[in-house]
């Protein structure tokens, strides 16, 4: 058979067309993926027609067992991830081979100041520099290719107070910004900007004014704020307002938008007795990136008393609004609204209610102020059930936004909280919690009522919200929300109110979302239909991301349970079933099925505790109990499967070095800080006596359960039980 040159040419041309040029690489340059931080990707190689082929490409163990909240970043073929307390990992994004690692040396006191686990939410990159903030507030500039430290800046203004850093830095022109956590402790919030090349402080903006008795404010834009505070406010405690996340540079305006946290103490009557809006708490504030001067602000929750932080991630977009194309910021803070603001001037265009709330019944778009309902929510007048809870309708878990469809994808909670004011004014305690309310989630109220004193129980039972609590203690959903109207397009039920995670959406028509049970799931972005899930055996909180290298699209996610309430590991979670070893897991089409970890071992009967020291009596044990719940109970939940040590199960060796651990920081490198500046040796002895007594009671109960052939499961008393 004779084939002409023309036919051969057409044949080879056809073959070339079939193979086509290799698809270009697509990076993910910051935790939000792009300048708008939409957590949305234009990639569509993995899509609704083939996502069922998604499997594991590679996985990397990170050597830690705490909360993982960061979204990885991929630049120049390297995948960068921040981890516990500010560690950084660099991996070959195709093979998973580790290129370098960085572990900061931490001031051990920072562990005590971290209200919500030793987490970190990401790195920032500018050229060959990588920036990360360690838990103790040290900001590092690292060589992106080697991990070598280029410069370090101490961002903490007062190390006798409860500052920490858990957020991702943000590059804004010639500076890099970082905030801090600690509003529940004793801090005065601020955000700092440092020169990219040298680490020199460029400017600092405080979110809370200082005591007017000290003279003029230390920033000109705080004079206006000071007028919204009582001159007799609790300046000794600091006021709160920490910028622990949500810093977003807007190249269009040259502004940096920051989200500001709650006040301290929580209730405005305790914080600022005469009331007031208390600027700039629970606000979005636009700062000039070059000078730090305020360009505009919008306070989402004036006079906040419910921990309604505005530190949740923002999304930038361009939207048609009233016939005009406007640059907007989409923001869903804890308070239950999804706001649409013109990011040039802060004008409120919409405030959509995305869950049940009773602290306000809407927002006046003319004034921008919420329509408060104090009769429902002012717990200075007695117990009140407030919606949303302090955990928020939304929290730090990133949402995604598909600009083409105008859809905002996010996990949303319908959960309330019982608030009760604690009696009497509290003295300032350095580096210690200053929460002035007893909070209890509605998921726990019904079960807890029988254990409460009758007068308190009757007061709670009489609250009108109790009917709703009994009918629906909580609800948690992954929602697709029309950003223009606020209407829910579809929703997917989640297992528990803690079962929320970050979201990734793509032009492949997919929404990726992990869960605590240990599944990475892919949903149809248009309908919410579950298309595929991969069993990991690892709990997921962080948002997935995606990139393309060598013509292959990958999806990556960090795993690990933690964050707020990290000591209370949900029973339905993979962390409870398999343990909480942190991993980075990367997927591609036609990857393998991940091997599941071995189940975590069952607990043994608590060991026999040592005898009580001479002089220990019931009164000292009771004092030890109070010291425990004031200093230890937030982290040590004493539950089976908790990722924090169960102190009902101390070994003889740990009992022998109890004072060295608690007062001298023997285990500080492991994340157990010293309390020697808060507890006296006598108080430590009383604390130890309580734990010995608790261990003895636990052992007796578990021996009886063992004798009866029943599972060993004896939850320790909660903070509410101890009141």
- Return the active site residues: 307
- The Cα-based distances of 89 to 98, 110, 203, 583 in angstroms read 7, 21, 30, 11
Sign of CA pseudo-dihedral 186, 191, 197, 200:
negative
Reference 380, options 334, 425, 422; nearest CA is 422
Q: Report yes or no: 122 and 82 within 8 Å, Cβ to Cβ.
A: yes
Q: Report yes or no: 370 and 363 within 8 Å, Cβ to Cβ.
A: yes
> Using CA atoms, how far apart are residues 267 and 439, in angstroms rounded to an integer?
12
Question: Alpha-carbon Rg of the chain, whole angstroms?
Answer: 26
CA triplet 549, 91, 83: central angle to 5 degrees? 125
The tokens 């060993």 sit on which residue? 712
Contacts of 82 (CB under 8 A, 6+ apart): 70, 88, 89, 120, 121, 122, 123, 132, 168
Torsion angle of the four alpha carbons 687, 691, 696, 698, in this order, in degrees rounded to the nearest 10 = 140
Q: Report yes or no: 232 and 273 within 8 Å, Cβ to Cβ.
A: yes
Reference 175, options 72, 256, 258, 286; nearest CA is 256
> Using CA atoms, how far apart are residues 477 and 499, in angstroms rounded to an integer?
9
Q: Report yes or no: 67 and 76 within 8 Å, Cβ to Cβ.
A: no
> Using CA atoms, how far apart are residues 222 and 648, in angstroms rounded to an integer?
48
Helix, strand, coil % over all residues of the chain, rounded to 5: 20, 30, 50
Residues facing 165 on adjacent strands? none
> Using CA atoms, how far apart are residues 198 and 150, in angstroms rounded to an integer?
9
Half-sphere exposure of 611 (CA within 13 A, CB side): 3
Q: What are phi and psi of 691, to 5 degrees?
A: -70, -35
Q: Where are the beta strands (DSSP E) in 389-473?
A: 400-402, 407-415, 417-421, 437-441
Reference 525, options 553, 500, 503; nearest CA is 503
Reference 538, options 581, 499, 497; nearest CA is 581
Q: Report yes or no: 417 and 389 within 8 Å, Cβ to Cβ.
A: yes
Reference 410, options 524, 311, 279, 505; nearest CA is 505
Torsion angle of the four alpha carbons 241, 243, 246, 247, in this order, in degrees rounded to the nearest 10 = 120
What is the token pair recorded at 319? 């939207």
What H or E segment, with its residue span, contains residue 92?
Answer: strand 88-92
Q: Name the pairing type of β-strands 503-506 and 40-41.
A: parallel
Residue 662, classed as helix, strand or coil, is helix
Reference 115, options 206, 65, 180; nearest CA is 180
């Amino acid at each position: 058979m004779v084939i002409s040159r023309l036919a051969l040419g057409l044949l080879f041309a056809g073959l070339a067309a079939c193979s086509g040029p290799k698809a270009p690489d697509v990076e993910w340059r910051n935790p939000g993926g792009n300048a708008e931080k939409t957590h949305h990707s234009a990639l569509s190689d993995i899509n609704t027609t083939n996502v069922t082929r998604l499997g594991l490409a590679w996985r990397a163990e990170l050597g830690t067992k705490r909360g993982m909240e960061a979204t990885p970043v991929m630049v120049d073929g390297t995948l960068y991830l921040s981890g516990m307390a500010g560690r950084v990992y660099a991996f070959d994004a195709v093979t998973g081979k580790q290129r370098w690692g960085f572990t900061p040396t931490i001031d051990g006191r920072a562990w005590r100041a971290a209200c919500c686990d030793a987490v970190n939410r990401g790195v920032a990159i500018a050229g060959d520099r990588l920036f990360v903030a360690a838990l103790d507030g040290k900001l590092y500039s690292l060589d992106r290719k080697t991990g070598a430290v280029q410069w370090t800046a101490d961002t903490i203004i007062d190390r006798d107070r409860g500052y920490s850093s858990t957020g991702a830095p943000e590059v804004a022109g010639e500076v890099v910004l970082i905030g801090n956590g600690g509003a529940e402790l004793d801090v005065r919030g601020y955000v700092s900007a440092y020169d990219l090349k040298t680490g020199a402080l460029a400017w600092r903006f405080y979110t809370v004014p200082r005591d007017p008795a000290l003279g003029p404010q230390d920033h000109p834009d705080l004079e206006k704020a000071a007028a919204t505070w009582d001159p007799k406010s609790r300046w000794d405690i600091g006021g709160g307002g920490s910028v622990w996340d949500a810093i977003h540079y807007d190249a269009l305006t040259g502004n940096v938008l920051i989200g500001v946290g709650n006040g301290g103490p929580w209730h405005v009557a305790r914080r600022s007795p005469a009331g007031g809006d208390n600027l700039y708490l629970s606000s979005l504030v636009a700062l000039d990136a070059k000078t730090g001067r305020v360009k505009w602000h919008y306070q989402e929750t004036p006079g906040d008393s419910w921990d309604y932080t505005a530190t949740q991630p923002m999304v930038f977009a361009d939207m048609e609004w009233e016939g005009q194309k406007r640059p907007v910021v989409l923001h869903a803070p804890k308070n239950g609204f999804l706001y649409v603001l013109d990011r040039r001037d802060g004008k409120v265009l919409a405030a959509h209610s995305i869950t049940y709330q009773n602290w306000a019944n809407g927002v006046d778009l003319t004034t921008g102020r919420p329509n408060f309902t104090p009769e429902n929510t002012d717990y200075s007048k007695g117990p009140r059930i407030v919606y949303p809870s302090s955990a928020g309708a939304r929290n730090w878990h990133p949402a995604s936004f598909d600009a083409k469809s105008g859809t905002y994808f996010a996990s949303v909670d319908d959960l309330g909280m019982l608030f009760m004011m604690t009696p009497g004014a509290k003295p300032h305690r350095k580096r210690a919690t200053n929460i002035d309310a007893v909070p209890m989630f509605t998921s726990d109220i019904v079960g807890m009522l029988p254990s409460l004193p009758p007068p308190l129980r009757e007061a709670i039972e009489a609250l009108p919200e109790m009917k709703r609590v009994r009918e629906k203690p909580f609800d948690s959903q992954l929602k697709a929300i029309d950003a223009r109207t606020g209407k829910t397009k579809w929703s997917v039920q989640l297992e528990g109110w803690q079962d929320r995670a970050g979201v990734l959406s793509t032009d492949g028509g997919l929404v990726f979302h992990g869960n605590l049970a240990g599944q990475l799931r892919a949903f149809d972005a248009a309908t919410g239909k579950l298309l595929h899930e991969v069993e990991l055996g690892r709990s997921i909180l962080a948002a997935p991301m995606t990139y393309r290298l060598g013509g292959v699209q990958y999806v990556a996610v960090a795993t690990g349970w933690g964050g707020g309430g990290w000591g209370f590991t949900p029973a339905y979670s993979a962390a409870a079933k398999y343990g909480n070893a942190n991993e980075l897991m990367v997927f591609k089409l036609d990857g393998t099925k991940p091997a599941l970890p071995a189940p975590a071992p069952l607990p043994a009967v608590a060991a026999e505790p040592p005898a009580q020291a001479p002089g220990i009596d019931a009164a000292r044990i009771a004092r030890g109990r109070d010291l425990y719940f004031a200093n230890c109970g937030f982290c040590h939940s004493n539950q089976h499967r908790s990722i924090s040590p169960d102190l009902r199960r101390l070994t003889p060796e740990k009992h022998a070095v109890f004072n060295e651990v608690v007062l001298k920081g023997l285990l500080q490198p492991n994340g157990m800080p010293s309390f020697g500046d808060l507890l006296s040796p006598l108080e430590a002895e009383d604390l130890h006596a309580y734990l010995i007594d608790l261990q003895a009671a636990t052992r007796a109960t578990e021996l009886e359960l063992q004798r009866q052939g029943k599972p060993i499961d004896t939850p320790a008393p909660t903070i509410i039980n101890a009141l």
